[in-house]
Amino acid sequence: MDEITRDCLVSIAAFAAIFGIAYIYFVSRHRERITMLERGVDPKSFQKEEQPLKYGMMAIGIAIGTVAGAILKMNGVERNTSYISMIFLFSGISLVIYHLITSTKK
C-alpha cells in the first residue's frame, strides 16, 4: 500500500474513532439528563463545582516538580527520567494534600 494512502486511512480512522467516542458520550449524557428531568431531579445537580484550589495546587506541584527535575539532572540523572518522575511525584503530592484539605473541611 502506498504511504500516502496508508497515512490518509490512519488519519481518517483516528478522526472517526475520536468523533464516535465523543458522539456516544454526549448522546448518552443527554439521554441520562432527560430521563432524570422526567423523574423530577433538580437541574442544578447537573452543574459541576469549580475547583480553583485543586487546579492551583496541581500547577504548583508541576512547577516544583520541574525545578526538582532540573536539580536531579544537574546531579547526573538522565534528563527525561528526572523531569517526568519529579513532575508526577510532586503533582501527586499536591493532589493528596488537596484531598486532605477538602476532607477536613467537611
Q: For the segment 27-72, what is each residue's pLDDT rounded down to a tens digit?
A: 999 999 999 999 998 888 878 887 899 999 999 999 999 999 999 9
Can you give the residue range of the structural domain that contains 26?
Answer: 3-44
Q: Please check whether residues 38 and 55 belong to one and the same domain.
A: no
Mark whether 35 and 60 lie in a shared domain. no
> What's the pLDDT score for residue 55?
93
Per-residue exposure over 49-83, b if at least 16 CB sit within 10 Å of its own CB, e if not? eeeeebeebbeebbebbeebbeebbeeeeeeeebb
Alpha carbon distance 18, 61 (integer Å): 30
Residues 31 and 76 in one domain: no
Domain count, the chain: 2
Query: With DSSP H G I counted as helix, E B as strand and the rest as coil, what are the percentages for the chain, rounded to 5?
Result: 85, 0, 15
Whether 98 and 60 share a structural domain:
yes
Asked if residue 40 and residue 62 are part of one domain, the reply reads no
pLDDT digits (tens, 9 = 90+) for 64-88: 999 999 999 999 889 888 999 999 9
pLDDT greater than 80 at residue 11:
yes
Q: Are residues 88 and 65 in the same domain?
A: yes
**The Cα angle at residue 55 between residues 57 and 33, in degrees rounded to 5:** 145
Q: Is the per-residue pLDDT at 106 higher than 70?
A: no
What is the predicted pLDDT for the residue at 15? 97
Pairwise pLDDT comparison (45 vs 106), residue with the higher score: 45
- Same-domain status, 62 and 96: yes
